[in-house]
Structure 1
Amino acid sequence: MSQGARLIPTFLRYWLFVFALLFSFTVAISSANAADAAKNSDSKAAYTALADILSDASSRDALIAELRDSAKTGKPPAPPSNKEATAPPRSDSFAEQLDTTVQGYLAAAQNKLNNVVTTLKAPPHKAFNPDTFWPALSHFLFTVAVTFAIFLSIRFFATPFYKRIGSWGHKAREKRVDWARRPTAILSAFIIDLLILLFCITAGNIIAASFGSTSFGHNSPAVMRQQTLFLNAFALIEFFKAILRLIFAPKFDYLRPFPFSDATAKYWNTRLAWLSGLIGYGLMVVVPITNVQLGTSVGVLVNFCIMLALTVYAIGLILINRTPIQKEITALGNRSLAFFGMFLHALSHVWHLLAIGYFLVLFLLSQFDPGNSLAFMMDATIKSLLVVGCGALVSGLLTRWISRRITLPAEMKLKYPMLERRVNSYIPSALQIMRFIVVVAILLFLLDAWHIFNLRSWLDSATGEKIIGGIIHILLIMFIAVLGWTLLASIIEHRLSLEMDNPKHPGARERTLLTLFRNVLSIVITTITVMIILSQIGINIAPLLAGAGALTLAVSFGAQTLVKDVINGIFIQFENGMNTGEYVTVFGITGTVERMTIRSIGLRDDYGVYHLVPYSSITTVANYAREFGVYRANYVISRDEDIEKANEVLKQAVAELRENPRLKSLLIGEPAFNGVVKLDDISFTLRTTIRTVALQQWTIQYALDKLVKEHFQRAGIKTPHQNVQISYAEQQRKALPPLEGEDGITP
C-alpha cells in the first residue's frame, strides 16, 4: 500500500475528531438557549395552571381557605408529596457526569437540527410585498451610504496625521533616543481609529433616527431594527478591521509593529478585511433581513450558502499560504529565546490546523445561532489574543530573568562563599515553575474564553478552591524551606570561611561538626518539606511515618554494621578523636583526613591513595596533629670515638638548629640530651629529644640530621663500619697471587 493510501485513513480520523470537537463546542454554546426556552415554557405552564384554579369557584375557595390557615399557623402550605424530590441528591462520578453532559449536548444538537429541517420545510410565513420592501431597502441603503461616506472621508483626511505620527516614532527609533516613542505612536494611531469609528457610529445613529425616517416616511419598528442591525455590524466589523490595521498597517510601514514587508501586509490585510466584512455583514445584516422580508426558510438557506462559500475560501487561502507562513514562523522561532523558539517551532507545524478549525467552528456556530455566532467568535478571539499576548509578555520576561546570573558584592562573596552559586541555582528553577504556572493559566483562560471550561465557576467551587489553595500552600512551603536552608547554610558557611587570624576562627573540631551539621540539616529539611507537601496534596502521612518506623527497625536489624558505624562516628566526634585536615593513623593506614561523614572517613595517604574507612573498623586512633610533636633523634657512633666529644658536637648541632630563624619558631621548650642509650660491640648510640609544633617534627628531623652530619664530619667523628676477616688454608694461600702493595694475606 502506498504512503498516500496509508495517510488517507489517518487524515479522515483526524478530521472526524476535529468535527466532533467543534460540534461539541457548538452544542455547548447552544445548550444555554435551550435551557432558557425550557425555563420560559415552565413559567407559561405555571401561569396557565394558576389561571385555571382561579377560574373555578370551588378551587378558588379551597385555595383561599388554605392560605388563611397558613396565615394563622405561620406555616407554608404543605408541598405535594414527591418521592423523587425527597430522594437524596445523587453523587455521580466523573464518568457519569461526562456521559450525562454528552447526552444533553447531543439531544440539544438534535433539537436544533430538527428545528432547521422543520423551518426549511415550512412555507413562508408571509408573502413578498414590494410596496414595503423597496422603500425600506432605500431607507436602509441611505443609512449605509451616509455612514460609510462619513467614515471613509474622515479616514482620508486623517492620512497626513497618521504619517506624521509614524514619522515621529520612526525618527526616535533611528536615533535610539526614546524607545517608548514608537509603541506610543502605534497605540496613538489605534486610538484615533477607534475614535473615528465611535464618531461614525454616533453619526449613523443620528442619521437613521432623524433624516432617514422623515425622508422616506417610514418610521416603522422593522425599518429601525434593520438600521440597528447594520450599525451593530458596522461597529463590530470595523473594530476588527482596526485591529487588522494595528497589526499590518498596510499604508503606513512606520506604524507596523511586526517586521512584515509592504506586500505581505497589504496581501493579508486586504483578504482578512474582505473576509471579515462578508462574514459579518452576511450574518448580522443579510440573514436577519432575509428572515424578516422573505421568510426563515430562505434565511437559513442564504446563511448556509454564504458561510459555506466563505469557509471554503478561507480554508483554501490557508492551504495556499501554509508553507510560506510556516517558514516565516520557523525563522521567527530561530531568532527568539529558547522557550519562545520551541513554542514557535511547534506552532509552525500546526498553525494551519488551528486556523482551519477556527473557521469550521464559525461555520457550525453560524448554522445554529447566526445572530450571536459572530459576536461570540469576536469576543472569544479578542480574549484569546489578550490572554496569549499578556502570557507571552510575562513568559518573555521570566525567560530573560532565567538566563541572567545574579552577582553578589565581593564583600558578601567573601563572607558567604556558596551563597551566589546557591541563589543562581534556585532562582532559575523558581522562575521556571512560575513560567509553567503562566502557561497553565493561559490554557485555562483560553478554554474559558471559548466556553469550553467555566473558569469562574470552577474557582468558586470546592474543588477549585482546594486545588488553588493547595498549590499556593505547596509553593509557600517550598519557598520557606528553600529560604530557611539558604539562611542556615549561609550562616554555617560564613562561620567556616573566617580567616585564620580571626579570633572567632573555628577550630578543626568545630569545622568538622559544622560540616556534619550542614549535611544533617539538609536531610532533615528535605524530609520535613516532602512530608508537609504530601499532606497538602491530601496523602495521609501517618501510615507513611508508621511504615518508615517499621522499615527503620527492619533495616537496623539487617544493617547492624551501618548502625555501628553511625554510633562509633558520633562518639569519635564527641571525644574529638579526629577532625578534617588532621594527620592520623587508623586501621593501620596513615594519612590526612579529607572527609568525614556520619558513617565513614576518607583518608589520603602519603602515596596519594584515597582510603574510605568505616567507623566500625576503627579501634584505635593515632592523631599526630594534637598540641605538639616530638622528634627523638638517635645517632650511632663508632665505639672507638670519645663519648664526651661526640655529645658536645651533637649539642653544637642542636644549638645551630635553634638559632635558625626559619626553624626556631617550630621548636617548643629546651631539647633533652639523653646521652648513651645503647652500646654494642662496634658502636654506641647518642639520643636527643626535641619537642616541636604538631606535624613539624619531620621538618626538624630533616634539618637536624643534615646539621649533625656536617658537624660530625668536621670533628672527625666516624660512624661504625663493619670489618670482614677472610681466612684461607695453607695450600689455598700459596696458590693465590699476592695483592698489589702488600706482602700477602695474613692467615
Structure 2
Amino acid sequence: MRPSRRAQHSDAVEPSKMLRLAEKNPLFSTATQGKTMAETDLMHDPTELMTHLEEASGTLERGFLSRLAALRHSGEDWTSLQATLQAKGLSLGSLILLLVGTALVTYLLIVAIRVFLRSRIGKDHGWKRGAMVVASTALALVLIFVATRFATADPDLRRVLRIWAFAIALFCLMRAALMAMFGAKHQEAAVVAAPPAHRFRDTVSFAILWALVGISISATLRVYQAGPGFRDLVSTLLVAAPVTFLLAYAYWRHRTAVRTLIAPPDTQSRGRRRLAASWPWIAIAVLVLTVVVLEIGFTLGRPLPPLAIVLTLLLVLAAPHLDDIVARWSERGIASPDTSIVALALRRTTRFVIAIAILCLLVYLWVVPVLTAFGVEAAAVARSVTELGLIALVAAFLWNAVGALVSRAAQAEGHGASSEEVEGPRTRLGTLLPLLSGVVKMTILSVTLLTFLVAIGINVWPIIGGLSIFGIAIGFGSQTLVKDVVSGLFFLIDDAFRLGEYIETPGAKGTVEKISVRSVSLRNARGALASVPYGQIGKVINFSRGWVIEKLVFRVAFDTDVELVRKLFKTIGQEIADDPELSPDLLEPFKSQGISAVEDGTLIIRGKFKARAGKQFAVKKAVLTAVQKAFRENDIHAVPKPIGSMTAP
C-alpha cells in the first residue's frame, strides 16, 4: 500500500484536511471571527470586497491544485482499494457479481410484487396505479433489507448491498413517474402533432439509471475507503459528464417533442407557448450550471450531496409537466358548486407551491455555496429563503382566492372572467369583475413586494414616501389623466354602460369590449377598435338597455291604397310574432302608423315595432324583407327620395 508515499500527499488529498485548511481561510472563518457580510458591509467597502474576491479565487486555486494532486495518485488509490477488499475476503469480481445480483433481484422482486398486487386488485388506473407502484417498491425494499441482515455479517457489505437496492427502487419510482407524465394517454394531442414522446422518455430514463448507478458506485468506494483521487475520477468522468451529456442530448435531439409536450397545439396561453419554445435550451443551461456548481463545491472542499442534486435537477426539469398536470387538476373544481372558494384557491396554490419549492431548492443548491464562500452564514441564508417562500405562498393563496372568487362569480353570471370574452351584454357585476380583480391583484402584488423588502432588512418607508410624492407630482402634472380616472369612476358608479353593450359617444360608437382604469374600448361594426378616454366621452347613448322602438319610413306613390298597406303591415307583424326565432326578442308587433307626410306628390308611410335592446337588428331585417315582398306582390310602387330640386333660371 506504500503508506510512506501516501503520507507525503495526505494534506493535498484528504477532504478533512482540505476542509481544515479552508476553515483557516478568512472566507470560512465567519463563525470564529464573528464577521459576516452584513458586519463588514462589503457593498460599501470596495477594498474589503476585492480582498474577499482575491481570497475566494485563491481558495479555488488551492482546491483545484489539491484535486490535481489527488488525481495523480489515483493508481495508488486503486491498489489500496483492492487491498482493502482482499482484507475483507472479497475480490473485485465477486463484489461486482454481488452488486449486480442485488440490483437484479431488487428489480425482479418489485416486478413480481406489482404483478401479484395487480392480480389481486384488478385494473390499476389513476391514483391506484401510483399507490401500487409505491407499495410494491417499499415492500421489495423491506424484504431486501431483511434478507441482507441475515445474508451477511459484514456491516460494510450489508450497507453497500442496501445502497444498490435503494438505487434500483428509486429508479423504478422515477421510471413510473416518467411514464405517468409522458404516457400516451396523457399526451394524445402531443403525439399526433409531434414525434412520439417515448424516445425522449427512454433517453431520460437511461440517464437517470446511469446517474443512480454512478452514485451507488461512488457510495461503494466511500464505504471501502477508496482514495479521494480515484473517487473524484469516477464521480466526474464516469457519472457527472455522461449524465449531463445524455440529458442535454435528449433535450436537443427531441426538442420538438418537448415543446409539444409542454404546450400542446390547443394551448391558448401565449406565455406557455413561449416557455415551451425556449424550454429545451433552458434545460440544457440548467444542466451545465448544475455541473459547474457541483464541481465548484467539490473544489472548495464542501461537496454537495449527489442524490439531492439528481432529485432537485429532475424536479426542475419536470416542473413544466408537473405544472400542466396540477393545472388540469386544480381547474376541475371550478364547475362544481360543491367546491368552496378556499378549496379551489388551495388547489390553484399547489402550482405556486411547486414553483416556490423548486426555487428555494435552487437557491439552497446554487446560491448558498457561493454566498458561503464570501462569508455569509448558510443558516442566515436558509432562514431568509424560508421567510421569503412563506410570504410568497401567502400572496399566492390570496391571489388565487381572488381569481377563484372572480371565476365563480363569472360562472354564475354565465360568462368568462376575462374582459376579452365578450359575447353579449353583461350584468353590472360582470362588467366590474375584471376591473376589480385587476385592482385587488395589483394591491396584493405591491404589498408582497414591500413585504419582501422588509424581510430582507430594507427600510421601505423612504420608498413609500417617494412613491407618495411621485403620485402627487403626477396628480398636479397630469390633470387630464386624473380627469379620465375620476370620470371613469363616476361612469361605472352610474352604470352608464357595461361590457357587451352597444353605445355611442361623441367620439366613437360600437360594442363595449374592454373597460380599463382610464378608457373604454369600443368595437364598431367593421371591426375597428377605438379607445375613448373617459374624460372625452361627455354624453353616452346606450342602445342595449331595456327596449327600443324602431321606426321605418316608406315612400310610396300618391295613389297607393293606404288601407291595403295597413293590412299588409299588420299581417307582416303577425307573421314575425309567430316566428319562434324572432318572437322572444319582439315586445310589440310591427304595425302601420299611417300617412305621416306628403312630399312632392309622394306619400310618407311609417311603421314601427318594439324589441329588446340590441336584438332589433334581426327583426328589422325580417320586416324590410317582408315589406319588399308584399309591395311587389300587391303592385305597390316605392318612390325614391329625390336627390335635389330643380330651380327656374
Name the TM tier (shorter chain): 0.5 to 0.7
CA distance in 1, matches of 2:585, 2:210: 80
Deviation at 1:544, TM superposition (A): 1.6
CA distance in 1, matches of 2:593, 2:634: 21
Specify which of 137, 141, 144 is matched with residue 179 of structure 1. 137
Specify which of 622, 629, 634 is matched with residue 710 of structure 1. 629
Deviation at 1:187, TM superposition (A): 5.0
Find the residue that maps to 2:638 and give its secondary structure: coil
Closer/same/farther in 2, CA of residues 326 and 619 from structure 1, 3 Å limit: closer
CA distance in 1, matches of 2:441, 2:549: 42
Paired residues of 2:137 and 2:169 also in contact (CA < 8 A): no
Report what 2:154 is aligned to: 196
How does 1:35-114 map onto structure 2 within 5 Å? none
Specify which of 473, 479, 490 is matched with residue 560 of structure 1. 479
Closer/same/farther in 2, CA of residues 345 and 409 from structure 1, 3 Å limit: closer
Deviation at 1:419, TM superposition (A): 11
CA distance in 2, matches of 1:515, 1:188: 61
Closer/same/farther in 2, CA of residues 600 and 428 from structure 1, 3 Å limit: same
Find the residue that maps to 1:556 and give its secondary structure: helix
Closer/same/farther in 2, CA of residues 187 and 713 from structure 1, 3 Å limit: same
Deviation at 1:254, TM superposition (A): 9.9
Find the residue that maps to 1:408 and give its secondary structure: helix
For the pair 1:542 / 2:500, whether they are aligned, the reply is: no
Specify which of 383, 390, 400 is matched with residue 486 of structure 1. 400
Structure 1 residue ranges without an equivalent (≥5) = 1-17, 36-90, 107-146, 198-238, 280-310, 362-379, 724-747
The residue type equivalent to 1:515 in the other structure is: P
How does 1:336-735 map onto structure 2 within 5 Å? 345=288, 387-390=305-308, 392-393=310-311, 396=314, 400=318, 403-404=321-322, 405-406=325-326, 407-408=328-329, 412-414=333-335, 427-428=350-351, 430-441=353-364, 459=379, 464=380, 469-498=383-412, 508-669=427-588, 673-720=592-639
Closer/same/farther in 2, CA of residues 272 and 631 from structure 1, 3 Å limit: closer
Deviation at 1:594, TM superposition (A): 0.8
Deviation at 1:488, TM superposition (A): 2.0
CA distance in 2, matches of 1:630, 1:597: 32
Closer/same/farther in 2, CA of residues 175 and 401 from structure 1, 3 Å limit: farther
Deviation at 1:693, TM superposition (A): 1.4
Closer/same/farther in 2, CA of residues 194 and 695 from structure 1, 3 Å limit: same
Closer/same/farther in 2, CA of residues 422 and 545 from structure 1, 3 Å limit: same
The residue type equivalent to 1:613 in the other structure is: V
Paired residues of 2:507 and 2:537 also in contact (CA < 8 A): no
Deviation string 1:15-71 (CA, Å, 9 cap, x unpaired) is xxx99x99985445679xxx9xxxxxxxxxxxxxxxxxxxxxxxxxxxxxxxxxxxx
CA distance in 1, matches of 2:525, 2:425: 27
Report what 1:299 is aligned to: none
Paired residues of 1:25 and 1:452 also in contact (CA < 8 A): no
Paired residues of 2:507 and 2:532 also in contact (CA < 8 A): no
Deviation at 1:577, TM superposition (A): 1.1
Closer/same/farther in 2, CA of residues 555 and 589 from structure 1, 3 Å limit: same
Find the residue that maps to 2:137 and give its secondary structure: coil
Paired residues of 2:512 and 2:520 also in contact (CA < 8 A): yes
How many residue pairs align between the two structures? 486
The residue type equivalent to 2:397 in the other structure is: L
Deviation string 1:259-317 (CA, Å, 9 cap, x unpaired) is 689xx99999999999x57x7xxxxxxxxxxxxxxxxxxxxxxxxxxxxxxx9xx58x9
CA distance in 2, matches of 1:720, 1:255: 92
Closer/same/farther in 2, CA of residues 334 and 622 from structure 1, 3 Å limit: same
Deviation string 1:714-742 (CA, Å, 9 cap, x unpaired) is 3333234799xxxxxxxxxxxxxxxxxxx
Closer/same/farther in 2, CA of residues 398 and 565 from structure 1, 3 Å limit: same
The residue type equivalent to 1:473 in the other structure is: E
Paired residues of 1:671 and 1:690 also in contact (CA < 8 A): yes
CA distance in 2, matches of 1:256, 1:595: 52
The residue type equivalent to 1:431 in the other structure is: I
The residue type equivalent to 2:405 in the other structure is: I
Closer/same/farther in 2, CA of residues 267 and 602 from structure 1, 3 Å limit: closer
Deviation at 1:452, TM superposition (A): 11
Deviation at 1:388, TM superposition (A): 3.7
How does 1:244-263 map onto structure 2 within 5 Å? none
- Give 1 or 2 for the bigger CA radius of gyration: 1
Paired residues of 1:672 and 1:688 also in contact (CA < 8 A): yes
CA distance in 2, matches of 1:256, 1:631: 75
How does 1:279-298 map onto structure 2 within 5 Å? none
Deviation at 1:528, TM superposition (A): 1.6
Deviation at 1:487, TM superposition (A): 1.1
The residue type equivalent to 1:172 in the other structure is: L
Deviation at 1:607, TM superposition (A): 0.8
Deviation at 1:583, TM superposition (A): 1.0
Deviation at 1:432, TM superposition (A): 3.9
Deviation at 1:324, TM superposition (A): 6.4
CA distance in 2, matches of 1:555, 1:650: 61
Report what 2:178 is aligned to: none
Closer/same/farther in 2, CA of residues 541 and 639 from structure 1, 3 Å limit: same
Given the two structures, how large is their TM-score scaled by the length of structure 2? 0.59
The residue type equivalent to 1:433 in the other structure is: I
Deviation at 1:683, TM superposition (A): 0.9
CA distance in 2, matches of 1:426, 1:401: 15
Find the residue that maps to 2:335 and give its secondary structure: helix
The residue type equivalent to 1:627 in the other structure is: G
Closer/same/farther in 2, CA of residues 191 and 438 from structure 1, 3 Å limit: farther
CA distance in 2, matches of 1:537, 1:660: 70
Paired residues of 1:477 and 1:533 also in contact (CA < 8 A): yes
Paired residues of 1:190 and 1:246 also in contact (CA < 8 A): yes
The residue type equivalent to 1:179 in the other structure is: T
Find the residue that maps to 1:562 and give its secondary structure: helix
Paired residues of 1:169 and 1:182 also in contact (CA < 8 A): yes
Deviation at 1:329, TM superposition (A): 3.6
CA distance in 1, matches of 2:589, 2:290: 86
Find the residue that maps to 1:152 and give its secondary structure: coil
Paired residues of 2:319 and 2:355 also in contact (CA < 8 A): no
CA distance in 2, matches of 1:156, 1:24: 33
Closer/same/farther in 2, CA of residues 579 and 156 from structure 1, 3 Å limit: closer
Closer/same/farther in 2, CA of residues 510 and 273 from structure 1, 3 Å limit: closer
Deviates more, 1:178-187 or 1:586-595: 178-187
Find the residue that maps to 1:594 and give its secondary structure: strand
Paired residues of 1:318 and 1:352 also in contact (CA < 8 A): no
Deviation at 1:606, TM superposition (A): 0.9
- Using CA pairs under 8 Å that are at least 6 residues apart, name the structure with larger relative contact order, 1 or 2: 2
Structure 2 residue ranges without an equivalent (≥5) = 1-11, 30-38, 59-83, 115-135, 172-207, 252-279, 416-423, 643-649
Deviation at 1:492, TM superposition (A): 1.8
Find the residue that maps to 2:631 and give its secondary structure: helix
CA distance in 2, matches of 1:444, 1:183: 35
Report what 2:106 is aligned to: 169
CA distance in 2, matches of 1:608, 1:153: 83
CA distance in 1, matches of 2:555, 2:170: 99
Closer/same/farther in 2, CA of residues 333 and 155 from structure 1, 3 Å limit: closer
Deviation at 1:524, TM superposition (A): 1.4
How does 1:17-36 map onto structure 2 within 5 Å? 25-27=19-21
CA distance in 2, matches of 1:657, 1:568: 43
